[in-house]
Copies of this chain bind each other. A is one copy, B any other.
């Protein structure tokens, strides 16, 4: 039985509802779909993609298909596959090799099946597909013009391949653009982190002291939202320039040792380990809430918390564990120290994926246009793509900008030349 045989109209309907919901928050991708339907920049191209099979990815697939591409999609992680979305995509004419919860054998077989399309372009999320292409399916390399990679981890692998001259085509690193960083790190993480804390604890934030460890883009976003919810915000940092900036923005900058005694809620978002350690936990107030918004679950030293605790009550609230210390104080760990915005809330809204997937399709269009001149290697997203994504996002929101007059163009030009 092939995947296509399993069509189920209820599943299709459910998937379409999900995709429709995602699409309404993805106006940039939708606008690109309309443009591509007219211009057909991907006419005659075959694309093999290895991505999370979710409603947002389905909108991406629709945009590429509208532009003329023939697509085969495998899952980049079997746990994230939404079977109804997969079914709706099949119904729409995308070949999908994915099912929730399959074995690792089936996972790799699906990638092979997606590659069977004989791709001109590949889209990857973690570098597994590109890796298989360069090792087990080298017969297909000849016709591949280029690819896109979503993740930091994938980019690291690709750069190593490039350094060893093993990479055989150009790949655009779409994980980091100005617009994505803005949407994702600052505003996306900022809102979803506070959202996760509210869903987990239903605590009133007005008048609380929220300690934000780390004042990078994400930390800044969290601090802004915590302040916006009425909290006093304390920032901890190790970088003097960031610490100074936080102070000038009116935040109370302290060492974690000092902040530990003051905080009602703690959010780590540093990218480092052991930011909240036993020595800090020992000083905290009864009822302090501990949350992590950094990528890995190493920022709060959970082992130290376990050592300090005389009793642990799991699930006193959804995603909330209570650790009772010897003196009766209770500390509340959210989401076991894992990403609170993904675990206790829903992570990035579709609006965020709209920005990164739009950068992805525009990068594909750029690859197709430029493929004749591009050497194998890892490429940043071209600056024009970022500008185009921002421009479309503004247009979708009905926001008007100014245009330079010819006099102004000349003035700026002469100034940059230093007259």
Contacts and interface: CB of A to CB of B under 8 A. Distances in A.
Interface stretch (A123-131, A132-140, A194-202): A194-202
Number of copies: 4
Contacts of A411: 272-273, 298
Interface string A27-62: 000000000000000000000000000000000000
Interface stretch (A76-84, A92-100, A370-378, A387-395): A387-395
A191 B198 contact: yes
Contact of A245 (B182, B252, B388): B182
Interface in A175-210: 178-179, 182-183, 186-188, 190-191, 195, 198-199, 202-207
Contact of A274 (B25, B255, B407): B407
Interface residues of A, number: 95
A325 interface: no
B349 A203 contact: yes
A248 interface: yes
B394 A240 contact: yes
B271 A229 contact: no
Interface in A118-168: 156, 159-160
A400 to B, nearest CB: 4
A390 B241 contact: yes
Interface stretch (A66-74, A106-114, A230-238, A302-310): A230-238
A105 interface: no
Given A248-B187, A330-B24, A411-B272, A238 B17 contact: no
Contacts of A206: 187, 190-191, 248-250
A362 interface: no
| Most central of A203, A256, A330, A350 by chain B CB within 10 Å | A203
Given A238-B402, A238-B404, A400-B254, A230 B204 contact: no
A394 B244 contact: yes
B250 A412 contact: no
A412 B272 CA distance: 6
Interface string A243-281: 111011111111110100000000000011111000000
A232 B240 CA distance: 19
A386 B239 CA distance: 11
Interface of A: 17, 20-21, 24-25, 156, 159-160, 178-179, 182-183, 186-188, 190-191, 195, 198-199, 202-207, 224-225, 227-232, 236-241, 243-245, 247-256, 258, 271-275, 285-287, 298, 313, 316-317, 330, 345-346, 349-352, 386-388, 390-391, 393-394, 397-405, 407-408, 411-412, 415, 418
6 contacts: A190-B230, A202-B350, A238-B403, A238-B404, A244-B394, A274-B405
